[in-house]
């Protein structure tokens, strides 16, 4: 096994190559949702639930492969891993760009996901070993710039392309950047991460695939099929059982696929829980705000994307700044202030009306993104700082896995709450009217008001969820990253 240590000098150029590749892959993740209706029309797909697989399938492959990333990071050199991952991503993008049928398009998306899924854990681990613990906040803040901003820019860019060009451009424009990233990696990428001989427990891989795949699919399908569908609760139940079996097995293995002993470190465990709640709250805003803007206000996808662009820019600007603030003030202050802003703005969004001004909507959404940007990377960095270097790959894999699952679960639950409240409101409004007076225009107006009430109520639930995360930040403590504390941590870990 190669030596575990922080590099004396960060390999900035190499990190730049990885950032570029990661930005391209992360951007692609969020390009699809706006384009799905256009793809349906172009490829003659009748059901939205079918074309939704372009997003669901991508998420499933990522959910299955992310838990395996800890093994991959230890087994293979970072150069080999990045080149293979970017090659797969490039191949998948080319296949999707030229796909004449839905089946081949879906295949391309899944190949993309296979390459993209390892990008975040790989980049995060290189950042962890490239910078000393006392400077990780700033470094991880810059990483957050890629991780958060790229997906946030996706809907705006996608909305413009779908409105003025063909949806295939979403893939075609990615190809040259993916190839450039691959060529730079072949030319300049060096090996800086430690490796060791590792064996893969195939039973754990199977349980992980069934567990996380089943949970992700079940909760994703719930938003369209409903919770009463046997496929939904059946796959969630099977996934839950498999995850329980997976967790039990990890504690019994000498070399677990995903080392869950990371949860024995209290600040990592706390930051992970807060990140889960925060991820669910963030995804609720990304779903509910477009639903309000497009379905209640009737604004086009491109214009709605432009309305959310300032929020993405705010998050991009704030990520490096919050990283520096973390290094100076620690996680508790940032977490409390950030979640206070998130909670307040989420509650204020629950008071949106049919005639709320566009400027006010943009201000609230941007302020909410500002609050979220103060929480995600600082808390995650503080949790990872408490782990011995040996557990870094497992810590990043756990974080990415739970956030992926939390995003899917949060989205499904919030959409279900919104739809249920809207349906109840519509029935109540219709019951008080004379059937003879119910015209098509009246039905449309009632549907609009019912959906608005559903969105308002769901934002209230999201605000309550944010309060839970806010209260948890009060228990957050700054991890001691002095040389003596780190040396003690590594010594205690080596003795186990």
C-alpha distance across the termini of the chain, in Å = 18
Instruction: Give the pLDDT confidence score for residue 155 in this predicted structure.
Output: 74
Contact at 8 Å (CB) between 129 and 3?
no
Instruction: Give the pLDDT confidence score for residue 2 in this predicted structure.
Output: 43
Instruction: Give the pLDDT confidence score for residue 223 in this predicted structure.
Output: 63
Measured in degrees and rounded to the nearest 5, phi and psi for residue 224 equal -110, -40
Instruction: Give the pLDDT confidence score for residue 363 in this predicted structure.
Output: 93
Supply the DSSP symbol for 439: -
Local confidence band at 492 (pLDDT 50, 70, 90 cut-offs)? confident
Reported pTM: 0.80
Q: Give the whole-angstrom CA distance, residue 123 versus residue 36.
A: 30
Instruction: Write out pLDDT tens, residues 106-162.
Output: 999 999 988 888 887 888 788 777 777 777 777 777 777 777 677 667 777 887 888
Instruction: Give the pLDDT confidence score for residue 179 in this predicted structure.
Output: 92
Cα separations (Å) of 340 from 310, 344, 346, 454, 460? 20, 6, 10, 24, 14
Q: Give the whole-angstrom CA distance, residue 239 versus residue 217.
A: 9
Give pairs for 446-450: CB < 8 Å, separation 24+.
Answer: 448/295, 448/296, 448/354, 449/354, 449/425, 450/422, 450/423, 450/425, 450/426
Contact at 8 Å (CB) between 154 and 29?
yes
372's CB contacts (< 8 A; 6+ apart) are 278, 281, 282, 315, 338, 342
Residue 4, pLDDT above cutoff 50: no
Task: Lowest mean pLDDT of 184-188, 233-237, 357-361, name the range.
Answer: 184-188
Which of 405, 409, 287, 407 is CA-nearest to residue 349?
287
Residue 344, pLDDT above cutoff 80: yes
Percent of the chain with pLDDT over 70: 93
Local confidence band at 460 (pLDDT 50, 70, 90 cut-offs)? very high
Instruction: Give the pLDDT confidence score for residue 10 in this predicted structure.
Output: 63
Mean pLDDT across 183-195: 79
Instruction: Write out pLDDT tens, residues 21-38.
Output: 888 877 777 777 677 778
Instruction: Write out pLDDT tens, residues 401-449.
Output: 887 777 777 777 887 788 888 888 888 888 776 676 677 787 878 888 8
Outline where 253-375 has alpha helix (H): 266-290, 301-329, 331-349, 358-373
Q: Give the whole-angstrom CA distance, residue 28 versus residue 175.
A: 11
Token couple for 488: 């003690």
193's CB contacts (< 8 A; 6+ apart) are 73, 77, 78, 125, 126, 129
Instruction: Give the pLDDT confidence score for residue 224 in this predicted structure.
Output: 66
> Which of 212 and 7 is assigned the larger pLDDT?
212
Q: Which residue has the tokens 């060791």?
A: 196
């Amino acid at each position: 096994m190669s030596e575990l240590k922080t590099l004396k000098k960060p390999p900035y150029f190499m990190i730049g190559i990885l950032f570029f590749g990661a930005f391209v892959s992360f951007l692609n993740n969020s390009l699809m949702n706006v384009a799905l209706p256009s793809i349906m029309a172009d490829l003659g797909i009748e059901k939205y639930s079918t074309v939704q697989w372009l997003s669901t399938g991508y998420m499933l492959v990522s959910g299955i492969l992310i838990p395996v990333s800890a093994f991959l990071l230890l087994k293979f050199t970072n150069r080999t891993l990045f080149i293979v991952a970017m090659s797969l991503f490039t191949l998948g993008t080319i296949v999707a760009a030229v796909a004449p049928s839905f089946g081949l398009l879906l295949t391309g998306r899944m190949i993309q996901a296979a390459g993209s899924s390892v990008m975040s854990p790989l980049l995060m681990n290189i950042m962890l070993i490239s910078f000393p613990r006392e400077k990780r906040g700033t470094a991880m803040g810059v990483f957050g710039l890629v991780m958060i901003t790229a997906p946030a820019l996706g809907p705006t860019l996608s909305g413009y392309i779908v409105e003025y060009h063909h949806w295939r451009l979403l893939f075609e424009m990615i190809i040259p950047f993916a190839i450039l990233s691959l060529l730079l990696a072949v030319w300049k990428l060096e090996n800086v991460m430690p490796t060791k001989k590792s064996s893969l427990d195939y039973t754990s891989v199977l349980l992980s695939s069934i567990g996380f795949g089943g949970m992700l699919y079940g909760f994703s399908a719930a938003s369209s099929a409903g919770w009463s569908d046997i496929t939904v609760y059946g796959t969630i139940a099977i996934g839950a059982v498999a995850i329980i079996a997976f967790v039990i097995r990890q504690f019994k293995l000498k070399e677990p696929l995903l080392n869950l002993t990371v949860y024995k470190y209290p600040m990592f465990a706390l930051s992970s829980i807060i990140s889960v709640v925060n991820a669910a709250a963030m995804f609720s805003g990304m779903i509910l705000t477009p639903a309000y803007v497009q379905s209640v206000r009737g604004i086009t996808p491109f214009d709605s994307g432009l309305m959310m662009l300032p929020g993405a820019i705010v998050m991009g600007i704030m990520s490096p700044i919050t990283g520096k603030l973390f290094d100076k003030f620690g996680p508790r202050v940032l977490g409390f202030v950030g979640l206070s802003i998130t909670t307040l703005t989420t509650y204020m969004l629950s008071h949106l009306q049919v005639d709320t001004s566009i400027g006010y909507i943009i201000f609230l959404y941007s302020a909410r993104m500002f609050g979220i940007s103060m929480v995600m990377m600082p808390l995650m960095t503080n949790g990872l700082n408490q782990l011995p270097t040996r557990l870094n790959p497992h810590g990043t894999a756990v974080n990415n896995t739970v956030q992926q699952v939390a995003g899917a679960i949060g989205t499904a639950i919030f959409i279900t709450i919104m739809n249920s409240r809207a349906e109840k409101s519509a029935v109540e409004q219709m019951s008080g009217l004379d059937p003879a007076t119910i015209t098509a225009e009246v039905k449309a107006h009632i549907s609009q008001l019912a959906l608005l009430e559903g969105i308002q109520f769901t934002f209230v639930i999201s605000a309550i969820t944010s309060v839970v995360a806010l209260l948890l930040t009060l228990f957050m403590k700054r991890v001691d990253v002095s040389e003596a504390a780190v040396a003690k941590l590594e010594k205690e870990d080596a003795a186990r």
